[in-house]
Amino acid sequence: MRRRQIGELEVSVLGIGGNNFGTNFFGRGCDAGEVDRILRTGLDAGVNLVDTAEEYSITSFLGEGHSEELIGAALGARRDEAVLSTKFLNSDAGNPGERGAARIIAAVEASLGRLRTDRIDLYQQHFPDPDTPVDEVLEALSRLVADGKVREIGWCNAAPEQVHDAAAAVQRSGSRPFRSCQLQYSLLERPADELLAALTRTGTVVLAYFPLASGLLSGKYHRGQPPPADSRLASDALVATILRDGVMSKQPLLSDARLTTVDELAAFAADSGHSLLELALSWVAAQPSVASVLTGVTSPGQVTANAAALDWLLTPDECAAVDAIVAREADGAES
């Protein structure tokens, strides 16, 4: 498995996302035994990046921490083989008055306990905090690095102006910079060029989430055909509504235009001797700003398939041909 750098961390180009570990809001997810099998399969295949968040999965009405607990238990003696990344929220539903640096310190201690570790390799702010100066956030996170509780820091879902503000704060105070930024990044849903340019200027790499565009690039959905009975769109009305309405995408996932694009991408992949899933993951991994492609999985077989998919190293000509297919959809939407 190829490795790339996030600051001093060396991470696999494929990462395992822990958002399906434990019971989620839709009543689905992986139990302890399945998480153990998934992580063992990943580590054996050279996949060392394991990403989660303090709020992933439900353990109570407020719900936080179960994914971290399952990962900590499953890694056990193999902890040092993994690069553990987790995220904190800007507030805690159980203690809404705790914000800023105090919230960060409380959150990291709770995550360390649930993950059964003495350090978090990559600690990330899940969303920029509109109520706390970025200077305060970076100072608190830098203190955690100095104390040895965190090795590198990152954030998620930032906007270009926020990236510039964070870089200015580092210049002012000499604090630790954000080394990574998690963004939705797929063939169909790409970060704005302005954002990618800002991250490149500040030396911040991307961790790409939703690389399969909420499952649309998994190869399950086709134009003119109903969603398969075992798919999320067919089995979960709430998820289906969210995805069909395009809440996380530029347009509804099951629109004719989008499904036509998916079929064209699948045909391109097949002509190259590959699957649509292999094309989707390999294209994201080929982007120069991307350090790792995060994939939410529910079985060891998915880990194996995703790892094998990244054996396809797309050439510049192949990337250009794929981009042309996607551009036709955008051109049609504008006409």
Amino acid (one-letter) located at 106 = A
- How far are the Cα atoms of 53, 195, 260 from residue 265, in angstroms, in the given order? 32, 26, 9
Contact at 8 Å (CB) between 302 and 14? no
This prediction's pTM: 0.92
Task: Please provide residue 294's backbone torsions phi and psi, each rounded to the nearest 5 degrees.
Answer: -90, 125
Amino acid (one-letter) located at 103 = R
Indicate the length of the chain as a whole number: 335
Contact at 8 Å (CB) between 172 and 146? no
CA atoms of 9 and 12, how far apart (whole Å):
10
Contacts of residues 218-226 at CB distance under 8 Å and 24 or more positions apart, as own/partner, are: 218/276, 218/277, 218/280, 219/266, 219/275, 219/276, 219/277, 221/253, 221/254, 221/259, 221/262, 222/259, 222/262, 222/263, 223/256, 223/259, 223/260, 223/262, 223/263, 224/259
Question: Which string of b and e fits 218-248 if b means at least 16 CB within 10 Å?
Answer: bbbbeeeeebeeebbbeeeeebbebbeeeee
- In the chain, the domains with their CATH numbers are 3-213+277-312 (3.20.20.100)
What is the pLDDT tens value at each position of the chain, 335 positions in all?
A: 999 999 999 999 999 999 999 976 666 789 999 999 999 999 999 999 999 999 998 654 445 789 999 999 999 999 999 999 999 999 988 888 899 999 999 999 999 999 999 999 999 999 999 999 999 999 999 999 999 999 999 999 999 999 999 999 999 999 999 999 999 999 999 999 999 999 999 999 999 999 999 889 998 877 777 777 666 665 555 555 555 555 456 666 778 888 999 999 999 999 999 999 999 999 999 999 999 999 999 999 999 999 999 999 999 999 999 999 999 887 766 54
Q: Please name the residue that has the structure tokens 């064209």.
A: 264
The two three-digit tokens of residue 259, written as one number:
């499904």
What's the pLDDT at 60? 46
The total of other beta-carbon atoms located within 10 Å of residue 164's CB is: 14
The two three-digit tokens of residue 215, written as one number:
């499952």
What's the pLDDT at 256? 84
CA atoms of 70 and 109, how far apart (whole Å):
17
What's the pLDDT at 255? 80
What's the pLDDT at 61? 42
